[in-house]
Chains A and B, each alone.
Chain A
Amino acid sequence: MNITIDVQDIESKAAVKVKGEIDAYTAPKLRETLFPLSEQENVQMVVDLSDVSYMDSTGLGVFVGLFKSVRAHNGEFRLVGLTERLRRLFDITGLADIIDINSNAEGGVK
């Protein structure tokens, strides 16, 4: 049940790297860390999920919330490095049609 969240936030460009499991226990920490970032005007937020070993629907809820908050502040929100399993989760829920999950990690997160 561990999670680490690395954030680089320079001039409204927020690069986030999440490692570990996102579930009901770790999701609150993720939400608390990332929500303030999403509320910056014109924020460009990229979240790298390539080291996320497990995510349940609670995690999905956090990302939808973030996406809506970024959009409300005229920003851009992208998820990168999704594993096959995560990609399926976004496909099934229809979120892949509204959230950008297809761009490359480059240029976003080192």
Chain B
Amino acid sequence: MEARENLEEKYREALSNYLKDQSEQALYQGQKYSRKTIEHKISPEEIISFHKSTLMDTYDNLPPEVLHSLDFLLEVMMGYGIAYREHQNLKHLQQELKSEIEIAANVQHTLLGTDIPEVGGLEIGAVSVPAKHMNGDYYHFVQDENQCVGVAIADVIGKGIPAALCMSMIKYAMDSLPEHRHFPKSVLESLNRVVERNVDPSMFITMFYGLFDPSTSIFTYASAGHEPGFYYNAATKEFTDLTAKGLLLGVEKKTQYEQYEKHIGSGDMIVLMSDGVTECRTSEGFIERKTLIEYIEKNMHLSAQEMVNNIYKQLEKLQHFQLRDDFTLIILKRNV
């Protein structure tokens, strides 16, 4: 209350100064005062009432119309003051939600975290960036006791928080698969059953699962409706689509997946991505897969991790740093 009386006094002072000489400095005092009132939550109608009482105390014979008009203004400003306070409350609430989402994003990051395994002869690079706070893309590496490396990349249809929650379920479903059953076909078939049973009917997941066996250099893979990756043949310097047929996870309970094999020679690469990579929209249209190959070629002299980092940065720049969709890119490169 003391602060309030003090502020009324200050208003009186500032107004008197201005009425005296209409100087810039007095105006500036008014500006400073207005910030103070916001700080102390003084409503607009209260300021008008300060104004009125200052005038009444300063001038003896004010025309009554002036005072009536101030009463009228006060009434009008009251609604404005209420709206303003409401706005402030919402702003506060929004801030709270925002920080809650940030916490959730951190939790998700920890939950879905995966380590890139060290495999002799195989370089692995991975980057995954959400368009908003939470990522609906997911990638995961597992290494079994035979040194085989499993790589999963998945994309939830749908974005934001629901998609992210759904991904956490996939991660736990994968963790609970029996150790010896990391064959791509059976991984996708069991996940399909989990998704079909547990996820909202309008939510679906695309997923690619590959398994690299260093002892034979064979890459076995299967896809559930996922954007096809590339296979780069170092001997012919050619890129081909890593096409695999298969239905999205969660559509039909009894979906069977086909499994494919590719021998990975020295210097060959496997490139995997989410559709956020090919759905990159530039001012001239979409990124064509051909363009993506050009970017890969441009960065081919680098290590797998540097490659994905650079390609991400370059594509981000093409879209003027505005991701429309979550973005995930993985490169496996055989270096012996």
Contacts and interface: CB of A to CB of B under 8 A. Distances in A.
B228 interface: yes
Interface stretch (B120-128, B155-163, B293-301, B315-323): B155-163
B225 A58 contact: no
Interface of A: 24, 31, 56-58, 60-62, 64-65, 68, 85, 92-95, 97-98
A93 B159 contact: no
A12 to B, nearest CB: 22
Interface string B238-256: 0000000111100110000
Chain A CB count within 10 A is highest, among B157, B226, B245, B324, for B157
B45 interface: no
B206 interface: yes
16 contacts: A24-B158, A56-B275, A56-B279, A57-B275, A61-B157, A61-B202, A61-B203, A62-B202, A64-B204, A68-B201, A94-B245, A94-B246, A94-B248, A97-B247, A98-B251, A98-B252
Interface string B146-169: 000000000101110000000000
Nearest to A94: B247
Given A56-B275, A97-B247, 8 more contacts: A57-B157, A61-B203, A64-B251, A85-B286, A92-B225, A94-B225, A94-B247, A98-B247
Interface residues of B, number: 25
A57 B203 CA distance: 10
B192 to A, nearest CB: 11
Interface of B: 155, 157-159, 201-204, 206, 224-228, 245-248, 251-252, 275, 279, 286, 324-325
Contacts of A93: 206, 225, 247-248
Given A58-B157, A58-B159, A60-B157, A95 B248 contact: yes
Contacts of B202: 31, 61-62, 64-65
A78 to B, nearest CB: 17
Pairs of residues from A and B, 5 with the lowest C-beta to C-beta distance, nearest first: A94-B247, A93-B225, A65-B202, A61-B157, A57-B157
Contacts of A68: 201, 251
A98 B248 CA distance: 11
A73 to B, nearest CB: 14
Contacts of B203: 61
A61 B251 CA distance: 10
Contact of A58 (B158, B226, B246, B247): B158
Contacts of B279: 56
Given A24-B159, A98-B252, A92 B226 contact: yes
A95 B246 CA distance: 9
Contact of A94 (B155, B157, B224, B325): B224
A31 B157 CA distance: 15
Contacts of B155: 57
Contacts of B159: 24, 58
B96 to A, nearest CB: 24
Contacts of B251: 64, 68, 95, 98
A61 B204 contact: yes
B227 A92 contact: yes
Nearest to A99: B251
B248 A64 contact: yes
B292 to A, nearest CB: 15
Contact of B228 (A31, A92, A95): A92
Contacts of A56: 275, 279, 324-325
Contacts of B201: 65, 68
Interface centre among A57, A58, A60, A94 (most CB of B within 10 A): A57
Contacts of B204: 60-61, 64
A24 B54 CA distance: 56
A29 to B, nearest CB: 14
A94 B202 CA distance: 16
